[in-house]
Amino acid sequence: MTGEFYRACAAWLGKTPRRASFFRCLFRLLPLVDAAAYLGTAAFLVITSWPGRWKFLLIPAVTFLLVSLLRRALNRPRPYDRLGYTPFLPAEPGKGKSFPSRHTASAAAIACAFGFLSPAAGAAAGLLALAIGASRVIGGAHYLGDVLGGLLFPLPFALLYLL
């Protein structure tokens, strides 16, 4: 991805105030919907003492913790810092910690957790994870590789669920 790609995305997303407002709202709302669905389901599983509740809770928690540590260790610069553009999403210059995308990794981990409850719920959450990842690239906060890394990162921990 080039700076020109990110500039073109930002220009298109922000072309009109109405469009900009819609996409800013959408890009903020996607992770909130994902988190709310996960937390609501987690609460239900804990309250009902569902036997697999700890695995459901731990897959996203372990993913979040390990992704945070990896991001800190790698401290990959954000594309807007390296390529010199103003992203559509709010940005903190010099923030770093771009790889892997934590939003995407968390959403993918949640999708894996839901997938063990119900394949249909896992598929729906997986589509939401893809949308969150796409929003991070289109919004200019991440490289495509950051998002792909985020999508793949939770898979080994999710496989532990099967044990």
pLDDT digits (tens, 9 = 90+) for 82-130: 999 999 999 999 999 999 999 999 999 999 999 999 999 999 999 999 9
Query: What token pair was written down for 123?
Result: 């598929």
In the prediction, which pLDDT does 52 show? 87
In the prediction, which pLDDT does 125 show? 98
In the prediction, which pLDDT does 157 show? 83
Tokens 């893809």 sit on residue: 130
Tell me the helices (H) and strands (E) count for the chain, helix number first. 8, 0
* Residue 158 banded pLDDT, cuts 50, 70, 90: confident
CA dist 13 → 21, 69, 84, 115, 139 (Å)? 9, 32, 18, 32, 8
In the prediction, which pLDDT does 71 show? 97
- State the SS3 of 29-44: HHHHHHHHHHHHHHHH
**What does R_g of the chain's alpha carbons equal in angstroms?**
17
Domain count, the chain: 1
CA–centroid distance for 95 within its chain? 17
pLDDT at 161 over 80: no
Domain that holds residue 52: 3-87+94-160
- pTM for the model stands at 0.93
Q: How far apart are CA 102 and CA 30, in angstroms?
A: 14
pLDDT at 50 over 80: yes
User: DSSP assignment, residue 52?
Assistant: T
Query: What token pair was written down for 18?
Result: 């109405």
Say which residue, 1 or 81, is predicted with more confidence.
81
**Three-state DSSP state, 95:** coil
Query: What token pair was written down for 2?
Result: 């080039």
Angle 17-47/53-74 helices, nearest 10 degrees?
Answer: 130
Q: What is the mean pLDDT of residues 59-80?
A: 96
In the prediction, which pLDDT does 100 show? 97
